[in-house]
């Protein structure tokens, strides 16, 4: 009897334990993401997500036959005013799937989630090559898939999850090429790098830094002059984005004005810039984890591997210095730190638990109790996150109904000016209502002149940003004194500014 009861807690062979662990991690990661796809695009950087949603809907409506003409007209005006920088592949793909399955923002979320999960496969393979241990790969996968910031970022309607997956594919393929030096791996690396940069130009920093880091890690000697296969990798990496840039600059110059206002060299000497940068990084990677990983890198990781991480982090630093405004204000610009951290955690886990695989054999068994406790903790962590995300979803669904109510109250008419959040994108997408934006306090120098100028030839004035309204104490009294109020709710105030109130 005692033997039967103790059997479930006997040591488990390491191979079986790892297989079971990878299966549990995969199931939890998939469930965590795909149970949250129906959340409105207001949970994670709404401006960026709704930017893509507006474009995708506009593309879809161009050929859809069941959409009312008034909706098509509004959608057409919306996408006509939006900037184009990266190729809108996510939006085009989403619009194509809308034709098959109907308009549903769960579709682009599923694309992003799938890309992130596929990226985990390449991360696991790369971590195995770096740490020489499947245990290290498992630790890397857990970090990549369950870091709190990555959970939300990986289901966002934006190109970053796909870019991360392609960067990981490039790192893995290029690492294989540095050791095998075959045409197959050179072509795979070149295609993956080219697609990553084409999806989002900023990927070039991580493609280049990863390539140099892997070269010096595995070859540990100068590689100049580049061998032919390496030149092929460079050519394939630069070709897609290069053609797009040339076309958008010289043939159809829609890119000419898009790169202005993105580079702020004066921030380099501003201490506040670096403080804001550190704060945004802390949103992505908890400070304690970042410090622990850094100390582990300095103490445990070999000099050759340390070179790789130095290059990867150097590429991130160069990227941040070039895009100084975005790196300190948009935390998703630091998303590439997640796979870098995951790889480092994988190596550290293998070194701490197993030691040097060349001098110390991998343990053949693992205590069953530790394995079961790990599975229980991961399951509880997953369920807790799902519950929190579903609770957040309920709040966002209510917010969507507010935007729909506003659109219905206005009647989706033109001539609206708004004091609202997210550049008016939530109103445009969920309210199907175009709007001009009333400037924020820092942009209003002379209120009277600005008031008369902005309201000229407008039909409605909408207020939803009550925080900014407090910063402009003259605005609401001026509207109340001159125009009739159509609606006032806890969520919005609407004025009819076509017909002023009669003078007393």
Q: Helices 89-101 and 106-131 meet at what angle, rounded to 10?
A: 130
State the DSSP string of 367-429: -HHHHHHHHHHHHHHHHHHHHHHHHHHHHHHHHHHHHHHHHHHHTS-S-EEEE-SGGGHHHHH
Question: Tokens in use for 461?
Answer: 């004035």
Q: How far apart are CA 86 and CA 372, in angstroms?
A: 45
Question: Rounded to whole angstroms, what are the CA distances from 254 to 57, 132, 214, 244, 501?
Answer: 21, 47, 36, 11, 44
Q: How far apart are CA 160 and CA 41, in angstroms?
A: 15
Q: How far apart are CA 22 and CA 26, in angstroms?
A: 6
Give the model confidence (pLDDT) of 280-298 as tens digits: 999 999 888 888 888 888 8
Pairing of strands 416-419, 436-437: parallel
Contacts of 99 (CB under 8 A, 6+ apart): 60, 63, 64
| CA 187 from centre of chain | 27
Give the model confidence (pLDDT) of 127-148 as tens digits: 999 988 898 999 999 999 999 9
Biggest alpha carbon–alpha carbon distance for the chain: 96
In contact, 402 and 492? CB cutoff 8 Å: yes
Give the model confidence (pLDDT) of 385-405 as tens digits: 999 999 999 999 999 999 999
Q: How far apart are CA 78 and CA 91, in angstroms?
A: 14
pTM of the entire predicted model? 0.93
Contacts of 317 (CB under 8 A, 6+ apart): none
Give the model confidence (pLDDT) of 208-267 as tens digits: 999 999 998 887 665 666 788 999 999 999 999 999 998 888 887 777 666 655 677 888
Beta bridge partners of 495: 461, 485
pLDDT at 203 over 90: yes
Report the alpha-carbon angle 390-391-395, nearest 5.
Answer: 110
Give the model confidence (pLDDT) of 329-360 as tens digits: 999 999 999 999 999 999 888 887 766 555 55
Closest CA to 407 of 501, 487, 470: 487
* Whole-number pLDDT of residue 331: 94
């Amino acid at each position: 009897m005692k033997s039967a009861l103790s059997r479930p807690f006997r040591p488990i062979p390491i191979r079986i334990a790892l297989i079971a662990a990878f299966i549990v991690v995969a199931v939890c990661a998939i469930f965590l993401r795909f149970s949250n796809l129906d959340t409105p695009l207001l949970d994670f950087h709404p401006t960026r997500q709704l930017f893509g949603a507006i474009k995708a809907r506009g593309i879809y409506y161009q050929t859809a036959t069941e959409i009312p003409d008034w909706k098509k007209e509004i959608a057409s005006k919306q996408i006509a005013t939006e900037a184009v920088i990266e190729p809108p592949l996510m939006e085009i793909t989403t619009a194509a799937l809308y034709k098959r399955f109907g308009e549903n923002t769960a579709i682009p979320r599923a694309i992003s989630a799938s890309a992130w999960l596929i990226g985990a496969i390449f991360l696991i393979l790369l971590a195995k090559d770096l740490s020489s241990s499947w245990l290290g790969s498992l630790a890397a996968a857990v970090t990549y898939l369950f870091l709190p910031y990555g959970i939300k970022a990986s289901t966002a309607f934006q190109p970053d999850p796909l870019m991360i997956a392609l960067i990981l594919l490039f790192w893995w393929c290029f690492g294989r090429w540095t050791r095998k030096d075959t045409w197959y791996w050179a072509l795979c690396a070149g295609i993956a790098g080219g697609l990553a940069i084409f999806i989002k130009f900023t990927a070039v920093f991580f493609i280049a830094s990863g390539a140099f880091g892997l070269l010096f890690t595995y070859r540990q000697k100068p590689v100049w002059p580049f061998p032919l296969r390496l030149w092929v990798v460079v050519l394939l990496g630069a070709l897609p984005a290069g053609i797009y840039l040339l076309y958008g600059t010289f043939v159809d110059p829609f890119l000419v004005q898009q790169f202005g206002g993105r580079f702020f060299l004066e921030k380099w000497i501003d201490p506040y810039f670096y403080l804001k940068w550190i704060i945004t990084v802390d949103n992505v990677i908890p400070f304690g984890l970042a410090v622990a990983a850094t100390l582990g890198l300095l103490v445990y990781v070999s000099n050759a591997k340390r070179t790789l991480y130095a290059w990867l982090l150097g590429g991130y630093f160069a990227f941040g210095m070039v895009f100084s405004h975005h790196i300190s204000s948009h935390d998703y610009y630091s998303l590439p730190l997640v796979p870098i951290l995951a790889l480092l955690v994988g190596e550290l886990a293998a070194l701490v638990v197993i030691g040097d695989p060349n001098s110390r054999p991998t343990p053949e068994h693992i205590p069953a109790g530790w394995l079961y406790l790990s599975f229980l903790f991961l399951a509880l962590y997953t369920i807790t996150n799902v519950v929190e995300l579903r609770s957040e979803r309920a709040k966002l669904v209510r917010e969507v109904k507010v935007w729909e109510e506003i659109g219905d109250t206005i009647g989706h008419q033109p001539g609206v000016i708004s004091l609202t959040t997210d550049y008016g994108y939530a109103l445009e997408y969920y309210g199907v209502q175009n709007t001009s934006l009333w400037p924020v306090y820092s942009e209003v120098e002379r209120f009277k002149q600005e008031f008369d100028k902005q309201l000229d030839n407008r039909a409605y004035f909408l207020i939803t940003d009550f925080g900014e309204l407090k910063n402009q104490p003259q605005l609401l009294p001026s509207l109340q004194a001159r125009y009739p109020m159509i609606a006032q709710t806890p969520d919005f105030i609407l004025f009819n500014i076509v017909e002023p109130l009669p003078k007393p």
